[in-house]
Each structure stands twice: as C-alpha cells, then as structure tokens.
Homo-oligomer: A and B are copies of this chain.
Amino acid sequence: AQSSVTLFGVIDVAARYTKANGQDTKQLTNDGSSSSRFGVRGVEDLGGGLKAGFWLEGALAADTGTADATRFWGRRASVSLMGDFGEVRLGRGKTSTRLVVDDFDVYTTTGLGDVTRVYSLLGSGIDTINRADNLVQYFLPSDLGGVYGSFDVAAGEGVNGKKSYGGRLGYKMGDLNVAGGYQTTDSFNSKYKQLSLGGSYDFKVVKVNALLTQLKFGSLKQNVYTIGALVPVTAAGSVTAQFSKASTNGTADASATTAGDAKFLTVGYQHNLSKRTALYTTASYIKNDGLAAFRVQTNAVAAARGGKSGGLDVGIKHSF
C-alpha cells in the first residue's frame, strides 16, 4: 500500500523578562509563539477510500536540550483509521474541548498570551484539561458543508481525574468560524465540567476572536471571557492583542486553592521571514484580584495573592 512518513517539528526560542511580587527574572526560554516539538507522522492508503495513519509528537526545550522525560511522545501518540465516515483515532492527544480553546485564543494557548494561564482547575486535580491519555476520538468527515466536530472518551483506568467525555461542534464558512465544546471529567466523586464557546470573523483589516469558557467543579465555578484581535500591518507582519476577564463565584473566591479572579492583557507582534520562520515579540500582564495568584508563563516567581505578574519576550520560531 502506498504510504508516506514525514519528520516534522518546531524550535521556538525566546529571551524573556518576567516580573512578579517585586522580583524579576531573565531567561533564555522556549515556546513564546509555538510549542517546540519533534514528530513523525504518516498515512497509508488502504484502498477503497480507507486510510490508516499514525502520529508521534513530543515536546522539547531548545534552551536546555531536554525532551519530555516522562512522556517523550506526550503531545500526541495515535493510530487512526480514516474514510468517508470520518476518522477514528486511538491514543494520547488533545481533547476536543481544548481544540475549541486553541482555535479561538489568538495565541493558541501558547507563550505569554496563553489564555489558559487564568483558567482554574478549581482544586479538582484533573489531568484532561489539555491532553488526555487512553483517548478514543471520533472526528466528523470534512465534507459536511462547513460543519466540523469531534467526540472523545478517555479511559480513566482507575486513576482520579483521568476519565472524561467530551465533544465539540463547529461551523466554518468563508471568514466565519464558530464552535462549542463541552467536556466532563470524573474527579473525587464529582465532575469537572468545561464549556467553551468561540467565534471568529476575519474582516481582513482585522480578524476578531471571542471565547467564553465556563468551568465548574461541584459548587465552584469560574467564567472566563476573552476577546482578541489580529491586525495584518504589512505583508509579513501582524499585530495581536487579547484581553481576558476571569471570575470565580463566591464559594471559589473564599479559598486560596480555588480563587480565580483576574484580568489578563496581551499584545504581540509577529514578523514572518517565511511560512516556516518568524520573529516575534509579546508582552503580557495579569492583574489578580482577591486570593487569586495567576502568573504569566515561565514566571518562576509566584505572584502575590491578588498581585500582578507580567512578561516581555523576543523570540524566533522555526518549523520543519
């Protein structure tokens, strides 16, 4: 059977300055714009419209030469059967609901602007907020007139916070994209529930994104409203900005473990040297309220309760 194997990856390195609680940190760090990775993937044509595929992809950090020591292929490890019916995918990978967040976060949940920096697990200790182990996923076929979606079950195998069900449905036509995702994960005899609704419209002079995420765990609740924009300023350069407002309910506010009130602002600029190589700079700032202590990515210093955390980076990313 005809087949192909592709080696691929990303190296993203950034010089970053962060500050929290009066202390600043200077780092050569990673993943300011895209997550660094190394991967191998392939597709085999089985005939009759059927295909088999595999995907192995793991994280790496070029500043120290490390890979993920516990999960070398931790970003995705899967085998798929694809056909007119869509795709059935087995292994480890992103949950369907996270894909909604990725799609409507201007910074695709990466770097200083990663919107999930102000998302709260509400003390649930779940392990499915981004990727999940033991995932059985079904993706709708791509020819449904703009409708797309996927649904997944993660086998918990008796480990707390790993058993989940989720799905997303979306509609993409021309410059419009809207989608919603919902996921529920078992934890401590309760359920952690994530609802994410997103939409974007590309007006050409500006592409606008909006995202609402509601997180619940028992009586605890957090809402995160996000609005973002991407403005092409030259043929190769674009300016981005995003603002999020996160607020937990009174029950969650009362405990330092679960409090999650914050405002989060990010602005960035990316200059493409080619389709595969870009220079970028990003600045972000989190202002916590109450007992919340969110901080921007790779800020080694904890924010004070109700305090601030901010960062600025300049980096380069290269895909292969």
Interface residues of A (CB under 8 A from B): 1, 3, 5, 7, 9, 11-13, 15, 25-28, 38, 40, 42, 44, 46-47, 50, 52-54, 56, 58, 60-67, 69-79, 81, 90-92, 131, 133-136, 155, 157-158, 273-277, 300, 316-318, 320
Contacts and interface: CB of A to CB of B under 8 A. Distances in A.
The 7 closest A-B pairs by CB, nearest first: A67-B72, A28-B134, A65-B92, A62-B91, A62-B77, A65-B77, A65-B74
A74 B60 CA distance: 11
Given A28-B136, A67-B73, A274 B62 contact: no
A74 B67 CA distance: 9
B65 A75 contact: yes
A141 to B, nearest CB: 19
A310 B158 CA distance: 19
10 contacts: A9-B54, A25-B158, A27-B155, A28-B155, A47-B274, A52-B277, A54-B318, A64-B133, A67-B71, A158-B300
Contacts of A62: 56, 73, 77-79, 90-92
A90 B314 CA distance: 12
B3 A320 contact: yes
B3 A5 contact: no
B63 A316 contact: no
A63 B92 contact: yes
